[in-house]
Amino acid sequence: MVEVMTKELSIVGLIKLKESEMFARYVVAQETKASASKHAVQLRDRHQLFKERKQRLKEMKYEDWILSMDISAMCLEDQTQYGAMQEEIRSRYCKSSSTANLD
């Protein structure tokens, strides 16, 4: 009887050992998944920031082109249109620079 019980307890111990090893592997796998997910979110955020900066650079180049235009040689309609655009850009830059000075 003692021999049978010892054998059974040994088997149960091996099963528990395998279960704990499997659980440890599961925990490591979950941590790896979480880490990969966190890294993917960071990459997505960096990519979005890059896209936003690239878009802002395009806008700034366009605004610089508008500001550098000589509207005096244009027809009255174009002078009105581009003059208003230039004033809007200048006023926005003046507001942003005065706000930056307050910080």
Contact 67, 89 (CB under 8 A): yes
pTM score = 0.56
Q: What is the pLDDT of residues 20-71, one digit of tens each?
A: 888 888 899 999 999 999 999 999 999 999 999 999 999 999 999 999 999 9
What's residue 99's pLDDT?
67
Domain ranges of the chain: 1-50
**Which candidate, 92, 98, 83, 101, places its Cα nearest to that of 56?**
92
pLDDT above 60 for 102: no
Q: How far apart are CA 18 and CA 12, in angstroms?
A: 10
Q: Please give the pLDDT value at position 5.
A: 77
In the structure encoding, which two tokens stand for residue 32, read together?
Answer: 């790896």
